[in-house]
Amino acid sequence: MNKKVCSFPILFALLALVIGTCAVVFPASAQAAPTSTGSITVSGTVASSYDAYQIFSANVIDGDNDAKIATDLAWASDAVRDAALPVLHSAGMSKSQTTAQEAAEWLNTDSHLTSALSAQLARSLQSSGAVSVALNASTAAELPCGYWLIVADDDAIAQGEAGTAPIMALVGGSAVTVKPKAATPKVSKHVLEDSTAAWQKAADATVADDLYWRLSATVPAGLTAYDTYAVQFVDTMSAGLDPSKVAASMRVYVAAGADGGFGAVSAGKDGRAGTEPAKGWTDITAQCRVSVDGKTFTVCTGDLIAALGGTDTFTAGARVVAVYNAPLNSVCNHGIAKGNPNEVYLRYPRSPFADQSGDAGFTRTPSDDACAYIWDLAFTKRGSDGDKPLPGAVLSIADDRGRTLAADGTWDAEGKATVTTGEDGRVTVSGVDSGKLEVRELKAPKGYTAFEGTRSVTVKAEGLDVDQVAAAKPKLTITAESPLRADSADGSTGSLEASIINTPTGTPPSITTGGFIPLTGDMAMYAVAAAAVAGAALIVVALLIKRGGGSHKE
């Protein structure tokens, strides 16, 4: 009796999901007698265990050039046949074709065994009475010879990994090793720095001002066999952030392709993010669900495959961006010692077979974060006669948006509010962004003369644009225009000090009453600067003595 021999290279090279398996070819001559079992090992780190379903039994031997030869194909069981045939007939195989040989030949013709079809076969087998064999990752197992469909066990898929399309492997002859490809989404988080209109890992801001955060997910190319695919951003804010605007401000966008940036919307130096999607991006906010629970919220997208127009586009990868507003609040941390971090991780489907209706069907990425900082600036009104604090000065202090500081610490958008120095001569601007403040003296303390015009004090925070928040080492500096004087800057606590110098009424202006001194909070720098000034003074005195002595001698 003649034995039929099958050639199924597609069963091994299924979308490059199998590494290290051999192609099947028509034999020129048999190399060895067939055996009843063969060895298979599933390597990689996608899952710790797998379910293996035998589709066809066969006699298998090794041929030339690492090829395998399969003969005498038969359905592994009636349950397998009953589960597989409806799927194959629905996919286009003639209903008159029912034998294992016919099914195998059809699968190999014109590459019918796609990743989508292999997933459909797996789903049908899982819901039928077909029996599977458990395989442990990286452990060799002996299986009866024939064609096996290897499916990752969803419950055994590791965090940070994802199951892909099932793998078809021919077991028999020499040992076989298959390696499922890991295709894992990634997530990142950034905050909008208004001074540069750039999305960064760290930024500074003023309490209660709009502060925009961006969540970015990359879905890799090669995620095949999914009917639907949704992701969930899970965001946790620190106590210093206000969640009240999150739901109303949330916008979600998607773009095709795993490569490219995340510029889904424009960002302006007014500190606001736009809402109109950039070219190539689609607004899918209406298809998403946002749920806020205290300081944690979840953004669940709709089906990304449908949003992108189908599986062909989706399998090339995708990018998802969520943008929302979460300002700093009155209890936020000041300075760089703690900052106000905001953390996110991404939930994504475990495999093409996962139930995406609840959390059980999802695994997650590692977390990523961004951070917002804030500073305090205190002005002290002082007299040039002894540097003593002066109460009763009426000041207008304006920020770079034209708002003026009010007595209760808020900012007046109309620019009409003023503040008055207290008994200690101080006015504190609490919880502010870096940038320039303009100071006008509307009324001087009794017995002193107000300075004319407007003077500025500039707070600068450097080192916020970093790759990771943990690497951020912001440097805080302050400079001032005379008669304002920069006194100190402590980046750890975020505390800055400046003085406003007044001269007694009738005193001529003096260059000693003010300065333009940049400070970093490093007292060693002040000491070096003082020593340099003292040294220069001694040199000048020595030159004058020498010149005077010479003249006198003449």
Average pLDDT for 436-447: 97
The whole-angstrom distance between residue 306's C-alpha and the CA centroid of its chain comes to 24
Model confidence at 451, pLDDT cuts 50, 70, 90, reads very high
Nearest-angstrom CA–CA distance, 15 and 312 = 14
Q: What are 94-141's pLDDT values in tens digits? A: 999 999 999 999 998 878 988 889 999 999 999 998 999 999 999 999
Report percent pLDDT > 70 for the chain. 85
Average pLDDT for 495-513: 79
* 45 contacts 161 by C-beta, under 8 angstroms: yes
Strand order in the sheet with 37-42: 141-144, 37-42, 176-178
Q: What are 140-198's pLDDT values in tens digits? A: 999 999 999 999 998 888 788 888 789 999 999 999 999 988 779 999 999 999 999 99
User: What is the identity of the amino acid at 220?
Assistant: P
Domain range annotation of the chain = 5-178, 186-373, 375-521, 524-554
State the fold for domain 186-373.
Answer: Immunoglobulin-like (2.60.40)
Q: Which of 45, 57, 33, 52 is nearest to 141 (CA)?
A: 52
Report percent pLDDT > 90 for the chain. 73
Q: What are 205-242's pLDDT values in tens digits? A: 999 999 999 999 999 998 888 999 999 999 999 999 99
Residues 6+ apart with CB under 8 A from 511: 482
Residue 415 has what DSSP assignment? S
Write the Ramachandran bin of 258: left for phi over 0, alpha for psi from -120 to 50, otherwise beta.
alpha
Nearest-angstrom CA–CA distance, 495 and 378 = 8
* 167 contacts 13 by C-beta, under 8 angstroms: no
Residue 67's pLDDT is 83
Average pLDDT for 433-447: 97
- The H or E element containing residue 50 is strand 49-62
Residue 509's pLDDT is 56
> What is the model's pTM?
0.82
Nearest-angstrom CA–CA distance, 89 and 97 = 9
Residues 6+ apart with CB under 8 A from 43: 137, 138, 177, 178, 179
Q: Indicate whether 367 pLDDT > 90.
A: yes
Return the minimum-mean-pLDDT range out of 107-121, 367-381, 416-430: 107-121
Nearest-angstrom CA–CA distance, 113 and 167 = 11
Options 3.30.110.30, 2.70.40.10, 2.60.40.10, 3.30.300.180; CATH for 375-521 is 2.60.40.10
* 97 contacts 103 by C-beta, under 8 angstroms: yes
Q: What are 237-264's pLDDT values in tens digits? A: 999 999 999 999 999 999 999 999 999 9
Nearest-angstrom CA–CA distance, 265 and 278 = 5
Residue 273 has what DSSP assignment? B
Q: Indicate whether 18 pLDDT > 80.
A: no
Assess whether the region 186-373 and the region 375-521 belong to the same CATH fold.
yes
Locate 508 and state its tokens. Answer: 């001529």
Q: Indicate whether 15 pLDDT > 50.
A: no
- Phi, psi (deg, nearest 5) at residue 396: -110, 115
> What is the number of other CB atoms lying within 10 angstroms of the CB of residue 520?
18
